[in-house]
Amino acid sequence: MNASIDESRFASLVRKLTNLQLIICELVLGTLAVCISVDALLRWSVNWSILVVDELGGYALVCLAFFGFSIALHEKALFRVDAFYDWLSPINRARYQLVFDILTLAFMLLLLWHFWGLVTRSHAKEISALTILRTPLWIPQLLMVVGALSTTLVLVVHIINDYKLLFKTDRKEVLNG
């Protein structure tokens, strides 16, 4: 009983994290749209540019992509090959989903490890962008770590749910009904 309470708390925490990331993505996208519009207007009207919009746009893209992975996974908005998936029986779909989620988790853990190594090396060597802002590269690289960690947490929730679906006592009713 206590384990299921912890799992639901964990799933709730992950849901709140993805909702926070969604809000951050909305703010980043809105800010980026305003900055690009102002830059375009300035280039058109007075032939002057803000000069940092391209760099900030790249960092925004990193944020949107890596935060978007976990949001899309949590909302089950990713593509899959339905021709194969629909061909499977409900029990085999659940098995397939569990195996897929476990393999994806292994890949995400490998990416997370690689991204963390990238951040620590960039921080230790004090590498910065060769632009006007001279942004330390570990800052945008840290967004990749946060996004990969969030995706990993969403996958853990999916694996727990897949496991419960496959191995609970009334699974025949759930999978067949």
Per-residue pLDDT tens, the chain, 177 aa: give them.
Answer: 455 545 689 999 999 999 999 999 999 999 999 999 999 999 999 999 888 999 999 999 999 999 999 999 999 888 777 778 888 888 888 899 999 999 999 999 999 999 999 999 999 999 999 999 999 999 999 999 999 999 999 999 999 999 988 887 565 555 565
Q: What is the pTM of this model?
A: 0.85
| The pLDDT value given to residue 120 | 97
Q: Quick check: 7 and 168 in contact, CB under 8 A?
A: no
| The pLDDT value given to residue 1 | 45
| The pLDDT value given to residue 171 | 56
- DSSP string covering 75-126, please? TT-----HHHHHHS-HHHHHHHHHHHHHHHHHHHHHHHHHHHHHHHHHHHTT
User: Which structural domain, as residue segments, surrounds residue 114?
Assistant: 2-176
Token readout for 135 is 């942004």
- DSSP string covering 35-71, please? HHHHHHHHHHHHS---S-HHHHHHHHHHHHHHHHHHH
How many structural domains compose the chain?
Answer: 1
